[in-house]
Amino acid sequence: MKHSPNFEVGSRIVLCIGAHPDDCEFRCGGTAALWSGLGDTIIFLSLTDGSSGTFRENPQQIRERRKLEAAASVAIIHGKSRCMECVDGSLTPSLENRFRLISLIREIQPDIIVTNRPNDYHPDHRYAAQLVQDASYMLQVPNVVPEVPPLRYVPVIMYWGDSFEFPYRFSPRAIVDIDSVLDTKIAMLSAHESQMYEWLPWVDSQLEQVPPPEAGSAARKAWTLALYRRRAVPTYAERYRDLLCERYGELRGMAVVEAEAFEMCEYGYHVDGALIKRIFAGV
């Protein structure tokens, strides 16, 4: 039985927790691809079923479709897809959901958890972070969810980047150059066809601009890249150029186009500067 997280590169379990099936790809898909390339196990867990991410299908149809999309996406980096099956748009930080999440985390036994911060425009996102925070200490408490053996440690918990200002700005302590895996990240996002080519363009009133399937995969992926960049402006590389230069040196740091950044959650395993270097070694 582990009594602390495992930080040996190539043998770690990284659990990325999003509210929706494509959240992890958007925010940490590049870093997950790099970790997977080092041999780490990557699991993307969606707390909701994605059943509200459509304007044309009924909940059961889109639920099943998004489940297949999520599995196909993370399979690109040889990862696994899981879903807690809460109803999309109705996630709450209830005791029932907290216990369900505790059970799943104990089953998976991650060394690192990555999720979004609790300040966000989407209630599902906010409550996903709240649930991770509320579960963190209880993972070790035997009489909470007693049917699943407790962990003997709290995993490292970190937040992926965002641009929200209230109640405080995102404060990264780590940043990763993802230029080498940008194509992989875009391929993962493109696997979420219902979102990249239907739902998000519809929300943005750009549905008529989406390249049709007969335009070919290159045109469709170019659309996805443009969509991703519209939703990540300014890019993390632009926002945190100083961190990139500090980490990779000025020459490489100034050349990075796409990056992902991470803030540490104080509710997880204590992380100092030396441990951050170990966690992100090789990426």
pLDDT of 1 over the 90 cut: no
Q: What does the alpha-carbon distance between residue 182 and residue 196 come to, in Å, rounded to a whole number?
A: 16
Q: What does the alpha-carbon distance between residue 123 and residue 118 come to, in Å, rounded to a whole number?
A: 9
Percent of the chain scoring above 90 in pLDDT: 96
Q: If pLDDT is split at 50, 70 and 90, which confidence band does 93 have?
A: very high
pLDDT of 57 over the 80 cut: yes
State the DSSP string of 140-170: T-TTSSTTSPPPSS--EEEEE-----SSS--
Q: Which of 91, 260, 57 is nearest to 178 (CA)?
A: 260
Q: What does the alpha-carbon distance between residue 23 and residue 6 come to, in Å, rounded to a whole number?
A: 25
13-178+262-279 topology per CATH:
Rossmann fold (3.40.50)
Domain residue limits, the chain: 13-178+262-279
Place of tokens 């696997």: 191
Q: If pLDDT is split at 50, 70 and 90, which confidence band does 3 have?
A: confident
Q: What does the alpha-carbon distance between residue 260 and residue 262 come to, in Å, rounded to a whole number?
A: 7
Burial of 241 (0-12, 13-18, 19+ CB in 10 A): middle
The pTM of the full predicted model, rounded to 2 decimals, is 0.97
State residue 67's pLDDT score. 98
State residue 54's pLDDT score. 98
Q: If pLDDT is split at 50, 70 and 90, which confidence band does 2 have?
A: confident
Q: If pLDDT is split at 50, 70 and 90, which confidence band does 232 have?
A: confident
Which whole number is the average pLDDT over 134-140? 98
Phi, then psi, of 215 in degrees rounded to 5: -70, -15
Which whole number is the average pLDDT over 245-253? 98
Tens of pLDDT, residues 171-184: 999 999 999 999 99
Which whole number is the average pLDDT over 154-171? 95
Q: What does the alpha-carbon distance between residue 84 and residue 46 come to, in Å, rounded to a whole number?
A: 6
Q: What does the alpha-carbon distance between residue 18 and residue 232 come to, in Å, rounded to a whole number?
A: 17
Tens of pLDDT, residues 98-108: 999 999 999 99
Residues 6+ apart with CB under 8 A from 118: 126, 129, 130, 133
State residue 110's pLDDT score. 98
Which whole number is the average pLDDT over 193-199? 98
Cα 112 to Cα 6, 13, 86, 215, distances in angstroms? 9, 7, 23, 40
Interhelix angle for 95-108 vs 123-138, to 10°?
60
Element (H, E) at 13: strand 13-18
Element (H, E) at 83: strand 80-86
Percent of the chain scoring above 70 in pLDDT: 100
DSSP state of 211: P
Which whole number is the average pLDDT over 207-235? 94
State residue 247's pLDDT score. 97
Q: CB 59: neighbour CB atoms within 10 A?
A: 14
State residue 154's pLDDT score. 97
